[in-house]
Amino acid sequence: MRRVEPLPAAFARFAEMGGVLNFAVFEEAQGTEEETLSVIPAVLDPGRSFDARRLAELGRRRIGEAAFFGDWYDFASGMLLRDGDVVLNDGTQLHRPRLADLAGREIRSASAALPQTGAGGNFAYAFSWTPYGLSGGPLEIQAIFEQIRDFILPHDEDSQIFDWSDARLTEVSDYFDDGAEWWGVFLFSIYAPALRRLILIAGSTTD
């Protein structure tokens, strides 16, 4: 198994914008649970603890793309959403607007229920919503999201998405301590058998 570095430019731009998700990509992979467990430390911040046995006990579950992207994504159009209610400066009230539709519009107030910590899925939320926000505008965020989405889940590949997210991930690694406070904890593995490619995604942050 060989780690792919560097990743496409969209991943570096996402990090520059303040994205908090970590990605690691491996080629010549078999996609087994044992193999995945062996490389998960690569997607955690350096120096973090990791208990592979405890993660194996918590287990993983296979999910579809709709569950993976979650409530902050319009599956039909492929667009990121700003979940909840938004009031613009001109008084216009919007419910679950598409993020791109907010470009150039000033928001007076917004409210949304955040996903339950460790409940799983909701990659689109973890990608687009952080305590301090992403520095790019809505159109750039959407564009970078599409580039990363199409890399991790190519349209013409049958990819297997596994969700390891769990509120008890703090027992696996101290990397997840911050996110467990309120923002959330996320851990996914995606395996494309035809490409023999394994992708790991982890997220955990706080204000």
pLDDT, tens digit (0-9, with 9 covering 90-100), for 43-64: 999 999 999 999 999 999 999 9
pLDDT at 132: 84
Residue 121 and residue 165: Cα distance in Å, rounded? 8
Residue 178 lies in a domain: yes
- Full residue range of the structural domain in which residue 52 is found: 2-70+118-204
Query: Looking at the domain assignment, is residue 143 inside a domain?
Result: yes
Q: Per-residue pLDDT averaged across 76-97, rounded? A: 89
What predicted TM-score, i.e. pTM, was given to this entire model?
A: 0.94
Q: 41-79: string of b/e by CB count within 10 Å (b at 16+)? A: bebbeeeeeeeeeebeebebeebeeeebbbbbbeeeeeb
Say which CATH number the domain at 61 has. Answer: 3.40.1000.50
Judge contact between 162 and 55, C-beta under 8 A: no
For residue 53, is it within any domain? yes
What's the pLDDT tens digit per position in 29-42?
999 999 999 999 99
Q: Would 48 be classed as within a structural domain?
A: yes
109 within some domain: no
- The domain total for the chain is 1
Region 110-134: mean pLDDT is 89
pLDDT at 6: 95
Please indicate, yes or no, if residue 168 is contained in any of the structural domains: yes
Positive/negative CA dihedral, 138, 21, 131, 162? positive
Q: Is residue 176 part of a domain?
A: yes
DSSP 159: P
Residue 91, in any domain of the structure:
no
Mean pLDDT estimate for the chain: 94
Q: Does 109 have pLDDT greater than 80?
A: no
Measured from the Cβ of residue 9, the count of other Cβ atoms closer than 10 Å reads 10
